[in-house]
A = this chain, B = another copy of it.
Amino acid sequence: MNGVLYIVGLGPADERWLTLEAQHALAEAQDIVGYEPYVARVPQRDGQTRIASDNRVEIDRAREALARTQQGRIVAIVSGGDPGVFAMAAAVFEAVDNGPREWRELDIRIIPGVSAMQAAAARLGAPLGHDFCAISLSDNLKSWEVIEKRLEHAARGDFVITFYNPASRARPTRIADAFALLRRFLPGETFVGLAKSVGREKEEIILTSLEAVDPAQIDMSTLVVIGASGTRRIARANARDWVYTSRKAP
């Protein structure tokens, strides 16, 4: 019997952003593998095995899912957001690349989902309406020099910039360093949006600027959006401003 490994995107919050394809994969799976809070978001189903693990063990989790698939199980490895964007899909293929040759021939299917930047953008208006980039500020797996180089080119290229993994207890000053670097290339009034815990109870949206942003307001649940020269604010009388990036470049 041949197994299947679904790599499933759950979206950034509750089931509102779950796709039909993701629902079908979760219903079909015999084993649900993932970081504990994501596994907890999958509806319980009789006979389904749930293997929840800690955050820092992506590769172990991927290997566990691949080994079960090799045994003929139908496995869903679940990921917040889109598994293809700074999430489990790359970890699974890293495990395949460095694992036994048979893993390469397994039936692996990636189920895309709404990523955090898209949910954040939806709350702000349309800041990703034109050319943009996404940068992970985590220096667990790459050097800070690589991140600095990417920040500089993103700024000089006049891209809208989104930050994933902007802060952690292990490196609390990195986000301030990143803003300081961007200030060398971008005007102080450049738009900065902080979208915290989007879609969850504690959701909080903060509109600020590169010169005024307070790094203390940024935690691991925050998606940071930095505007480009074409990013505009629309003032409203009784509500938060809308923010969008014009499709016309200056």
User: Interface on A for B, CB 8 Å cutoff?
Assistant: 11, 15-21, 82-87, 89-94, 96-97, 104-105, 108, 110-115, 118-119, 121-123, 125-136, 141-143, 146, 149-150, 152-154, 156-159, 232, 234-239, 242, 244-249
By a CB distance below 8 angstroms, the chain B residues around A94 are 244, 246-247
Using known A-B contacts A21-B17, A90-B129, determine if residue A141 contacts B85 with beta carbons closer than 8 Å. Answer: no
By a CB distance below 8 angstroms, the chain B residues around A134 are 131-133
Chain B residue at smallest Cβ distance from A161: B133
Smallest CB separation, A192 vs chain B (Å): 18
By a CB distance below 8 angstroms, the chain B residues around A153 are 153-154, 156-157, 159
How many copies of this kind of chain does the complex include? 2
Using known A-B contacts A17-B20, A19-B19, determine if residue A122 contacts B133 with beta carbons closer than 8 Å. Answer: no
Smallest CB separation, A161 vs chain B (Å): 9
Are the C-beta atoms of A18 and B20 separated by less than 8 Å?
yes
Using known A-B contacts A131-B133, A157-B153, determine if residue A105 contacts B245 with beta carbons closer than 8 Å. Answer: no
In the complex the two chains form, what is the Cα distance from A89 to B123 in whole Å?
A: 11
Are the C-beta atoms of B114 and A19 separated by less than 8 Å?
yes
Are the C-beta atoms of A19 and B21 separated by less than 8 Å?
no
By a CB distance below 8 angstroms, the chain B residues around A121 are 84-85, 89, 110, 112
In the complex the two chains form, what is the Cα distance from A84 to B99 in whole Å?
A: 38
In the complex the two chains form, what is the Cα distance from A86 to B157 in whole Å?
A: 17
Are the C-beta atoms of A17 and B112 separated by less than 8 Å?
yes
Using known A-B contacts A94-B247, A128-B84, A133-B134, determine if residue A237 contacts B150 with beta carbons closer than 8 Å. Answer: no
In the complex the two chains form, what is the Cα distance from A83 to B90 in whole Å?
A: 26
By a CB distance below 8 angstroms, the chain B residues around A239 are 105
Smallest CB separation, A122 vs chain B (Å): 4
